[in-house]
Structure 1
Amino acid sequence: MIKKIVFDFDGTLADTREVFLKALGHLSQKHGFKRLSPQEIQEMLKLPIRQRCKVMEIPLHKIPLLFHESLRLLKTMEMASPYPGIQEVVRALQEREVDLVILSSNSSEYIEKFLQVHDLDSFQSIISTSGLFGKHRDLKKLLKRSRLSPQNLIYVGDEIRDIESSRRALVSIVCVTWGFDSLYLLEKGSPDYLVHEPREIVNLVDRLNYKA
């Protein structure tokens, strides 16, 4: 029985890809990293994050600094929009009395503003992680705090690192194909479920809870 769904934010709920790519271009110019053409960017999305840094000639030790700098830039740009269909999915899951949580490396301040602007007030809580690769720890803490077994929770994300985090937390992962990582990369990660449209998330929950 699925009682709680944890959503990633960027690339899953919010269409922030173009905003982040603009921020990436700004940071590349500022710090002298390699700038990529639109075609090169599409090819880069087929690679894990560490290999992307290699392509752009970004030292790995600078990732945390650049990530937090990109979040600061994000706050100065136009507010992102939800992916088409996300608002309907959130309402449908609320009607099914499933608890909804956001787990993101983006700032809780930005996420709260996004939810307010787009009338998405159905989320029980926002968990803001301290880095790019620690979500498995937050998932484990959430399970313990909620007194749920891993079978009662699913995680919805759009990146290979979301798959890795879910594996380490022993929870099922639903990967969406409209986010940052390419379908090719997601399929290589072998997620438990792969969805191509937001409504498929609701259909999946209905199937899983019917079986239970």
Structure 2
Amino acid sequence: MMDLKSIKAIVFDYDDTIAKTRQIRYKTLQTIANETFDFKLSNEQIDSAWGIPGNDFLLKIFGNHSKDLDFLWKTYNDYCDRDDNIPYPGAKEYIYQFQKQYQLGILSSSSHKRVFKELELMLFDLVLFVSVQTAEDTHVHKPDPKVFEPMLSKLEMFSIRREEILYVGDSISDYLSSTGYGLQFLGMAHGEREQIVFDREKIPYVESFAELDKVLKEGR
């Protein structure tokens, strides 16, 4: 059971929590498949790889056509630059408000280049975050709980213990890794896909940043 009164830090997942990555990048990936490799990439194929670290993701999606990671990353990043990612409603505004009350962080399985570039393009002030941790910052990845070790070491500098950290994410992998490390967890279900999963697993969640703000205020 969550104890929101004890929360001193909030760490956010990035893809599909802060930004509409799935909505935007499915189009990007399908365009790459069509224009670069001349095949049709289905939503189901992307679903099967979604959420794993970048190198593994690109190889799972395009590995039958190229295993040259330098080429795959250049191609992916070039196409991503055509399709700007979009923050969810209220993300910037509420995160700015949250930093007045909590230490903030981002922990993502996506690459450093993509996360930082997109945050800057979406006009997030990176100074608001104690740490923005990406795939390159650790040798393990969600759902391994040890993925939170670098983030905890940064937050411990503010005398924050793991049980005083709330992780907000959109997937079961986010839930398993954070609670497995002793953090508190609250789901972010922007759509029906996430709501169905959280309801089935009886995991508490909110459906927007506005609702997250309300829950945090009521829990103080």
TM-score (norm 1): 0.73
Q: Which moved more, 1:71-80 or 1:114-123?
A: 71-80
CA shift for structure 1 position 132:
5.2
Matches within 5 A, 1:125-204: 125-130=131-136, 133=142, 136-147=145-156, 148-178=160-190, 181-191=193-203, 193-204=204-215
Return the letter of the residue paired with 2:88. Y
**Equivalence for 2:53:** none
Are the counterparts in 1 of residues 25 and 80 from structure 2 also a CA contact under 8 Å?
Answer: no
Distance 1:75 1:34, change over 3 A: closer
Consecutive aligned runs of 4 or more in structure 1 exceeding 6 Å deviation? 30-34
**Equivalence for 2:60:** 66
**Equivalence for 1:59:** none
Return the letter of the residue paired with 2:24. V
SS in 2 for 1:156: strand
Structure 2 gap ranges (5+) = 1-5, 50-55, 62-68
Are the counterparts in 1 of residues 32 and 79 from structure 2 also a CA contact under 8 Å?
Answer: no
CA shift for structure 1 position 204:
2.3
Are the counterparts in 2 of residues 6 and 154 from structure 1 also a CA contact under 8 Å?
Answer: yes
Are the counterparts in 2 of residues 6 and 101 from structure 1 also a CA contact under 8 Å?
Answer: yes
Q: CA–CA distance in 2 between the matches of 1:2 and 1:102?
A: 16
CA shift for structure 1 position 82:
0.7
Question: Would you say 1:112 and 2:106 are equivalent positions?
Answer: no
Tell me: higher relative CO, structure 1 or 2? Use CA pairs within 8 A at least 6 residues apart: 1
Distance 1:189 1:65, change over 3 A: farther
SS in 2 for 1:188: helix
Query: Sequence identity of aligned pairs in percent?
Result: 24
Q: CA–CA distance in 2 between the matches of 1:114 and 1:168?
A: 29
Distance 1:8 1:33, change over 3 A: farther
Return the letter of the residue paired with 1:9. Y
Q: CA–CA distance in 1 between the matches of 2:16 and 2:7?
A: 23
Are the counterparts in 1 of residues 130 and 154 from structure 2 also a CA contact under 8 Å?
Answer: no
Q: CA–CA distance in 2 between the matches of 1:159 and 1:150?
A: 20
Are the counterparts in 1 of residues 188 and 206 from structure 2 also a CA contact under 8 Å?
Answer: yes
**Equivalence for 1:14:** 19
Return the letter of the residue paired with 1:138. V
Residue-pair matches, total: 190
Distance 1:80 1:64, change over 3 A: closer
Q: CA–CA distance in 1 between the matches of 2:147 and 2:117?
A: 22
**Equivalence for 2:66:** none
CA shift for structure 1 position 156:
0.7
CA shift for structure 1 position 2:
1.4
TM-score (norm 2): 0.70
**Equivalence for 2:10:** 5
Q: CA–CA distance in 2 between the matches of 1:85 and 1:183?
A: 19
CA shift for structure 1 position 65:
2.3
**Equivalence for 2:48:** 53
RMSD between superposed Cα atoms in Å: 3.2
